[in-house]
Amino acid sequence: PLCASTRCDLCGNQMSRRISSHGPIMTSTQSTRRLLDGLSSLDSVSSVSYHCTDNMGAGWPKPNLVEPFDVFQAWDHGKASEVVCVFKDNEFDFGVDVDIVAALLEGDRQTAEKVVKKLAPDGSIINGLAFLGILAFFSRAPDRGDALRAKVGLAFDAFDLEDTNDLSRDEFTIALLSCLRALTVALGRGVPPTDSDCEQIVNKAYTDRGKDYSTSVSKHEFFDFVAAAVEGCAGFEDVLRGFGVSGLASTPAGVEAAPELFASPVKD
């Protein structure tokens, strides 16, 4: 299959996506109807309360997110997974507009407009994969199984555009930078690391594991990398700082720390 290369609107790097036999990546206008059809079968959001063990670190306090991202904490893991699948099935471009975001949110244009306004400086096109990362990490964990593995696995799936079950170093770097920036926006605080700092984190991850820079990282390796970063952390702020996020001390009163459990390897 052919490949289409899309420039990441956050970091400027190139991200390749294999075009399937279904045809080229569709535009927002072409895809909205298909997307709405695909989402029509999603279950409604459960109103059942949940405990902090649904977070990536058992016993950590649930982070307080800024509007409108706080609403996604009521989404269950299954719903977030469905949105990731629909996004990929439609082969959307790396950057998406408010129409696509609204369709992903089952027609909730008001929330979609707020999401785009927060994630896009000019209020037009956002990093769609970074938005999926927010859903993966901040939605509720599954009722059974390993919460951390489920959340990290869903974030991995969002960036595994070719469904090869591995990510190149470039894709890993884009994933790390995209999610760090998006998660700090959702938190309303924190300064993410620079491009070069993210590259150093990725390179160290490769070196520590004795991996050649030309190789990809499997989903299992991806999870191990994140799990190792989380081990020993007392809360979300510890994890964020471990990935180079600064400025967390200057937090508005009443706002909790949040997670950045999206670690990844990749890039020259």
The answer to whether residue 207 sits within a structural domain is yes
Domain count, the chain: 1
pLDDT in tens for each of the 268 residues of the chain?
A: 222 334 444 444 444 443 232 333 334 444 444 444 444 333 333 323 233 334 455 566 778 899 999 999 999 999 999 999 999 999 998 899 999 999 999 999 999 999 999 999 787 899 999 999 999 989 998 888 788 899 999 999 999 989 999 999 999 999 989 988 988 899 888 999 999 999 999 999 999 999 999 999 999 999 998 888 888 777 766 777 888 889 876 444 444 433 333 323 333 3
Q: Residue 194's domain spans which residues? A: 70-243
Cβ atoms 167, 159 nearer than 8 A: yes
For residue 223, the 8-state DSSP code is H
b/e 249-261 (16+ beta carbons within 10 angstroms → b): eebeeeeebbbbb
The answer to whether residue 212 sits within a structural domain is yes
* 25, 112, 136 from 171: Cα distances, Å: 18, 26, 17
The answer to whether residue 40 sits within a structural domain is no
The answer to whether residue 91 sits within a structural domain is yes
The answer to whether residue 16 sits within a structural domain is no
- Which residue matches tokens 């555009």? 161
**CA 182 to CA 186: how far, in whole Å?**
6
The answer to whether residue 12 sits within a structural domain is no
Cβ atoms 157, 80 nearer than 8 A: no
Prediction pTM value: 0.73
* 52, 203, 206, 266 from 211: Cα distances, Å: 35, 9, 5, 11
The answer to whether residue 230 sits within a structural domain is yes
